[in-house]
Amino acid sequence: QITLKESGPTLVRPTQTLTLTCTFSGFSLGSSGVGVGWVRQPPGKALEWLAVVYWDDNKRYSPSLKNRVSITTDTFKNSVVLTVTNMDPKDTATYFCARTVIPARQAFDFWGQGTLVTVSS
Amino acid sequence: DIQMTQSPSTLSASVGDRVTITCRASQSISNWVAWYQQKPGKAPKLLIFRASTLESGVPSRFSGSGSGTEFSLTISRLQPDDFATYYCQHYNTNSLFTFGPGTKVDVK
């Protein structure tokens, strides 16, 4: 059974750095083609892709947030960490992590439940 | 950057209706297009990948088609559980993902 779960702060102050962790089970980030990405959704708005890291440590970032976002894996590839610097109230959103497999799907087939992050002073 | 648009933004329909949602790209793209269903407070659910391949466990009333700059998601006979928001997503040759703005299907 594949599961993913996001964890991290629910409230962040403006200008602070957000750090979220995606802990997953049921698959291995060491398997060829597997990736874990982050997607966010401001309240009442559309999905926005942020970043993805693949089994070979290849990383890709959304051009619109590239300078502020970083994605890493832990030593044992059991979790994926997203950091977003210089947080602003516009970054208030539910943040999801999700699995992708390339070239099989090029889509996110399993998702975490999401975690709401509010940016406010 | 390739931009994805969806139409309509809102679609009002009745149970049993045939529903089609369109996703257009700002330039010709590969068929690496996926469709998701999202209900309020829930994570998106993958329905279709590679433009027309049905994800395992998804009812056969959902289908995807298209090529070039225009792709579509069709629900052959709308069921009560299908009222939701639908998103298209493209994966480009630079390994970047782009989501469309979404289409809300509500009760007529």
User: For A71-104, what is each residue's pLDDT tens digit?
Assistant: 999 867 789 999 999 999 999 999 999 999 998 8
Encode pLDDT of B31-78 as tens digits. 999 999 999 999 999 999 999 999 999 999 999 999 999 999 999 999
User: Which run of H or E residues covers position B104?
Assistant: strand B103-107
- Mean pLDDT, all residues of chain A: 96
Q: Kindly state the percentage of chain A with pLDDT values over 90.
A: 93
Average pLDDT score over residue span B72-85:
98
Contact B42, B106 (CB under 8 A): no
Encode pLDDT of A20-64 as tens digits. 999 999 999 999 999 999 999 999 999 999 999 999 999 999 999
B-chain CB neighbours of A60 within 8 Å are 94-96
Tokens found for residue B77: 């006979």
Average pLDDT score over residue span B91-104:
94
Q: Choose from A47, A58, A95, A116 for mutation: most chain B CBs within 10 A.
A: A47
Report the C-alpha gap between B85 and B44 in whole angstroms.
9
